[in-house]
């Protein structure tokens, strides 16, 4: 019986969903992640692409991603579009997502971690919610499987972000999120070099929703966030998204100055009625030290803002892409600034 002629490779459809995954030394998780993603997204019945952004991994992650993009055997059906970008070095999780956003072609963008802590099976729920008319949908890790040591900095991030962006969310740290193309286009216009994507999205989204999603313990590999990195992230967020800290310090300064003035007045009146007293000099020294401490604190905060201005003015490239697989194959991009 004659065999049907093999169909010529069709032009892959324009993706409706782009899934963006930052990867930093996740060699043990990528294979399973790829399989689960393809299964889930195929089940959705919409054209999709998966974009892995290797954030300067030093393990075998890139080799595994290469195999996923160019399988030696015919592994996935033709509708499956897997792409990968490789950073020149480690630029950070959020920069990796920025790069993915710039490369993505879908109308709906979904981000998730590569470590399987965010189950890919939750993506259809996020997309369905987005299609109800929301601009971004965040996952909220109802049963978060992380240590207290890891959860504590997240509490402060949630509190800070809810206050400074004015959008109260339970879980800013969960990267299992869906965004509409328009929101991502606005995010892509942001030139700043240190940022936090869920907070940035809230600046541009009109309707924001949050739905509970599952969360698994990290099975393989280690968290890439040290305590130092988390503290830096908190500090970055505070100075990056609001002038509130500097206002608080200003308010504190005024209050303490007023109290100092009242205390000085009290000492003066006391001196008029009771007479000079040696202990009073020490009290004034104590007040002086309070002021010196306050000045230093204020100076440090002003310095932090000046530092940020300096960073932005320099307009350094946020990342350097070394290689691209899949669509845009071979394209090398130095810069990665929006619109570049
Ligand atoms: N990640 C990254 N660059 C980094 C740190 C992390 O691309 O510098 C990726 C990491 O591979 C994972 C995701 O960001 O896919 C979240 O990282 P991790 O699981 O270590 O963070 P945690 O779950 O502890 O918040
Ligand atoms: Mg994790």
For the segment 115-160, what is each residue's pLDDT rounded down to a tens digit?
Answer: 999 999 999 999 999 999 999 999 999 888 888 888 888 888 888 8
- Exposed e or buried b per residue across 267-299, where buried means at least 16 C-beta atoms within 10 angstroms of its C-beta: eeeeeeeeeeeeeeeeeeeebeeeeeeeeeeee
Give the position of tokens 């600034």.
337
Other C-beta atoms lying within 10 Å of the C-beta of residue 247: 10
Confidence band for 328, pLDDT divided at 50, 70 and 90: confident
- 179 Cα–ligand 2 center, Å: 20
Beta bridge partners of 208: 136
Reference 337, options 146, 188, 163, 221; nearest CA is 188
Give the position of tokens 């000079």.
276
What three-state secondary structure class fits 52?
A: strand
The answer, yes or no, to whether any atom of ligand 1 lies below 6 A from the CB of 113, is: yes
pLDDT at 191: 75
Confidence band for 317, pLDDT divided at 50, 70 and 90: low
- 88 Cα–ligand 1 center, Å: 17
- 224 Cα–ligand 2 center, Å: 8
pLDDT tens-digit series, residues 243-254: 677 677 777 777
- 29 Cα–ligand 1 center, Å: 12
Average pLDDT over residues 209-231: 89
Protein residue whose Cα sits closest to atom 2 of ligand 1: 93
Of ligand 1's listed atoms, the one at least distance from the Cα of 90 is 8
The CA distances from residue 58 to 53, 54, 63, 147, in Å, are: 13, 10, 11, 26
Protein residue whose Cα sits closest to atom 16 of ligand 1: 113
Confidence band for 336, pLDDT divided at 50, 70 and 90: low
The answer, yes or no, to whether any atom of ligand 1 lies below 6 A from the CB of 322, is: no
Q: How far apart are the first and last CA of the chain?
A: 54
User: Pocket of ligand 1, candidates 113, 198, 222: which has the most ligand atoms within 8 Å of its Cβ, to mutate?
Assistant: 113
Helices 197-204 and 93-103, axial angle in degrees (round to 10): 50
Highest average pLDDT, of 1-10, 96-105, 140-149, comes from 96-105
Percent of the residues in the chain that have a pLDDT greater than 70, as a whole number: 88
What are the strands of the beta sheet with 108-111, ordered from one edge?
A: 208-213, 136-141, 177-180, 108-111, 17-23, 48-54, 81-87, 319-325, 333-335
Who contacts 316 (Cβ-Cβ below 8 Å, separation ≥6)? Answer: 193
In this structure, the strands spanning 17-23 and 48-54 are parallel
The answer, yes or no, to whether any atom of ligand 1 lies below 6 A from the CB of 122, is: no
**Cα separation of 340 and 336, whole Å?**
6
In the DSSP assignment, the letter for residue 49 is E
User: Pocket of ligand 1, candidates 20, 24, 94, 98: which has the most ligand atoms within 8 Å of its Cβ, to mutate?
Assistant: 24
The CA distances from residue 150 to 141, 163, 229, in Å, are: 13, 21, 11
pLDDT at 29: 95
Of ligand 1's listed atoms, the one at least distance from the Cα of 92 is 8
Give the DSSP letter string of 75-133: -S-TT-EEEEEEESS---HHHHHHHHHHH---SEEEE--TTSSS-GGGHHHHHHHHTTT
193 with 311: CB under 8 angstroms? yes
The answer, yes or no, to whether any atom of ligand 1 lies below 6 A from the CB of 27, is: no
Q: What is the pTM of this model?
A: 0.81
């Amino acid at each position: 019986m004659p065999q049907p002629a093999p169909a010529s490779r069709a032009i892959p459809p324009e993706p409706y969903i782009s899934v963006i995954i930052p990867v930093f030394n996740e060699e043990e998780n990528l294979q399973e992640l790829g399989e689960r993603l393809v299964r889930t997204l195929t089940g959705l019945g919409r054209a999709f692409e998966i974009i892995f952004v290797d954030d300067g991994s030093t393990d075998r992650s890139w080799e595994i991603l290469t195999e996923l993009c160019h399988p030696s055997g015919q592994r996935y059906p033709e509708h499956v579009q897997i792409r990968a970008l490789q950073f020149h070095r480690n630029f950070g999780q959020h920069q990796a997502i920025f790069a993915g956003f710039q490369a993505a072609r879908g109308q709906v963008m979904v981000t998730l971690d590569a470590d399987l802590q965010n189950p890919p099976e939750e993506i259809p729920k996020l997309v369905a919610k987005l299609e109800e008319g929301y601009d971004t949908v965040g996952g909220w890790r109802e049963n978060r499987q992380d240590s207290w040591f890891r959860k504590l900095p997240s509490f402060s991030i949630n509190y800070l972000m809810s206050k400074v962006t004015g959008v109260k969310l339970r879980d800013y740290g969960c990267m299992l999120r869906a965004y509409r193309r328009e929101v991502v286009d606005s995010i892509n216009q942001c030139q700043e070099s240190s940022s936090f994507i869920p907070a940035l999205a809230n600046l541009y989204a009109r309707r924001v929703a949050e739905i509970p999603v599952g969360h698994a313990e990290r099975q393989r590999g280690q968290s890439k966030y040290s305590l130092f990195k988390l503290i830096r992230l908190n500090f970055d967020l505070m100075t990056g998204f609001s002038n509130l800290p500097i206002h608080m310090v200003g308010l504190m300064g005024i209050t303490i100055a007023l109290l100092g003035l009242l205390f000085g007045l009290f000492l003066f009146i006391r001196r008029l009625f009771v007479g000079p007293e040696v202990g009073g000099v020490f009290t004034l020294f104590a007040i002086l030290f309070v002021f010196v401490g306050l000045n230093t604190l204020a100076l440090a905060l002003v310095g932090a803002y000046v530092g940020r201005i300096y960073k932005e003015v320099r307009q350094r490239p946020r990342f350097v892409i070394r290689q691209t697989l899949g669509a845009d194959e071979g394209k090398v991009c130095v810069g990665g600034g929006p619109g570049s």
